[in-house]
Amino acid sequence: LTGRTTRRWVLARYVEGAPGPEDFRLEEAPLPDLEDGRFLARVILASVDPGIRSRLSAGDSYAAAMKIGEGVDGFNVAEVIESRHPNYAVGELICAGGGWREHIVSDGRGYIQKITDRRVELGCWIGVLGVPGLTAWFGLNRVGQAKPGETLLVTSAAGPVGATAGHLGKALGMRVVGVAGGEAKCAWLLGEEGFDAAIDYKASHDLTAAIHAACPDGVDVLFDNVGNEMIDRVLPMMRMRGRIVVSGQVADYNLRPDQIPGIHNTKPFITHRVRMEGLVVFDDIRNFAAAQAAMADMIVLGSLKYAIEEFQGIEQMPEAFCGLFRGENFGRRLVRLAPDPVA
Ligand SMILES: NC(=O)c1ccc[n+]([C@@H]2O[C@H](COP(=O)([O-])OP(=O)(O)OC[C@H]3O[C@@H](n4cnc5c(N)ncnc54)[C@H](OP(=O)(O)O)[C@@H]3O)[C@@H](O)[C@H]2O)c1
């Protein structure tokens, strides 16, 4: 390995408000010689995830704030290219949480999963079968206790978590309503994605009335990716024993703590026995393999769709990430760093 270098993106400064490319810096460093008990993997695909935004500002959220100069988090599909580790062989494919980087050097600890099922494209393993899809699966099934015939309202419905939650709801026999920004996203949800109704929150003059109209009998499960303002708006529409799945807070991530809206409409927690619960998907890690096998089968059978938007080259990572907060993505954004190995 001597003489070879590798690149990674690090946090250049703490982010205030919406993130911009200047908040990140691309660093190049020599690849170290591989020690015993480690392997080296070449990253093929890397993801950009809105949830990391909460670690990019000073002050801790549910995860500790990053340090300036620390590598940016994300998920990877990678190929083992050198190994001095007994459990990893050259040529094996893994998904891992290595971040925005060209190479991963690992002792095998942390989140690493071997990819053995090649029936689906590799990007699925950090998309619909990775953290976003698993968040949808465990959010809907374990936290949301979703049932056939119920009404599911999904926010940020054209993102990878939301779209997967919607598909899983449809496959279960639910009535699925999505909220998304813009006419194109809503047309996509109604057309290709097969949602029963879609609400463009950016065009709606009265969003509460629009949700009422799309969910005339109320909402059994709110799968929320957006944040407090939306939860507060939908709470009075929750049906008896309704469940609110707090998946993400993308509308609140760029706000200072004192700017984040509060939740006021708390009465339905009593009158309608509404339950609200958040999740951290890794709590369900022991059940990942079973969920992934079930979802991979659904993909192969055509009952679970997904969308991937692929960017080319490590240079594109900040731009791909920052666009998430401008509502640019349809489905999962991945950045390709190397071609797929031949199967
Ligand atoms: N709990 C967990 O373990 C877990 C795991 C993974 C992800 N998550 C969370 O799940 C949520 C969805 O993740 P994802 O990967 O599928 O990303 P995503 O929903 O695609 O996030 C980007 C989208 O968010 C929407 N958005 C951006 N700014 C917004 C704003 N100010 N108000 C309303 N919507 C806004 C935009 O869609 P529109 O154009 O429709 O506005 C944008 O395209 C995120 O909040 C993420 O943090 C949670």
Q: Which one of 185, 244, 250, 324 would you pick to mutate in the ligand 1 pocket, going by the greatest count of ligand atoms within 8 A of its CB?
A: 250
Q: What is the pLDDT of residue 252?
A: 94
pLDDT, tens digit, for every residue of 243-290? Answer: 999 999 999 999 988 999 999 999 999 999 999 999 999 999 999 999
Cα-to-centroid distance, 249 and ligand 1 (Å): 7
Q: Which one of 156, 168, 260, 284 would you pick to mutate in the ligand 1 pocket, going by the greatest count of ligand atoms within 8 A of its CB?
A: 156
- Closest residue by CA, ligand 1 atom 8: 248
In the predicted structure, residue 320 carries a pLDDT above the cut 80 = yes
Residue 64: C-alpha distances to residues 51, 52, 281, 310 (Å): 13, 11, 17, 29
Please give the average per-residue pLDDT across 318-340, as a whole number.
97
pLDDT, tens digit, for every residue of 14-58? Answer: 999 999 999 999 999 999 899 999 999 999 999 999 999 999 998
Residue 252 C-alpha from the chain's centroid: 16
Cα-to-centroid distance, 225 and ligand 1 (Å): 5
Structure-block tokens of residue 103: 């190479």
**Integer Cα distance of 127 and 132 in angstroms:** 6
**Integer Cα distance of 269 and 242 in angstroms:** 9
Residues with CB under 6 A from ligand 1: 49-51, 131-132, 135, 156, 158-162, 180-182, 185, 225-226, 247-251, 279-281, 324-325, 327, 329
Of all atoms in ligand 1, which is nearest to the CA of residue 132? Answer: 6
Of all atoms in ligand 1, which is nearest to the CA of residue 249? Answer: 45
Cα-to-centroid distance, 153 and ligand 1 (Å): 15
Q: What is the pLDDT of residue 3?
A: 74
**Integer Cα distance of 97 and 118 in angstroms:** 20
Of all atoms in ligand 1, which is nearest to the CA of residue 158? Answer: 40
pLDDT, tens digit, for every residue of 126-137? Answer: 999 999 999 999
Question: Which band of pLDDT confidence, cut at 50, 70 and 90, is reported for residue 211?
Answer: very high
Cα-to-centroid distance, 154 and ligand 1 (Å): 11
- Closest residue by CA, ligand 1 atom 43: 327
- Closest residue by CA, ligand 1 atom 41: 181
| % residues pLDDT > 70 (the chain) | 99
pLDDT, tens digit, for every residue of 64-107? Answer: 899 999 999 999 999 999 999 999 999 999 999 999 999 999 99
- Closest residue by CA, ligand 1 atom 9: 248
Please state whether beta strands 175-180 and 151-155 pair in parallel, antiparallel, or not at all (unpaired): parallel
Whether the Cβ atoms of residue 79 and residue 93 lie closer than 8 Å to each other? yes
- Closest residue by CA, ligand 1 atom 27: 325
Of all atoms in ligand 1, which is nearest to the CA of residue 53? Answer: 47
| % residues pLDDT > 90 (the chain) | 95
Query: Which uninterrupted H or E stretch holds 219?
Result: strand 219-224
DSSP lists the bridge partners of residue 343 as: none
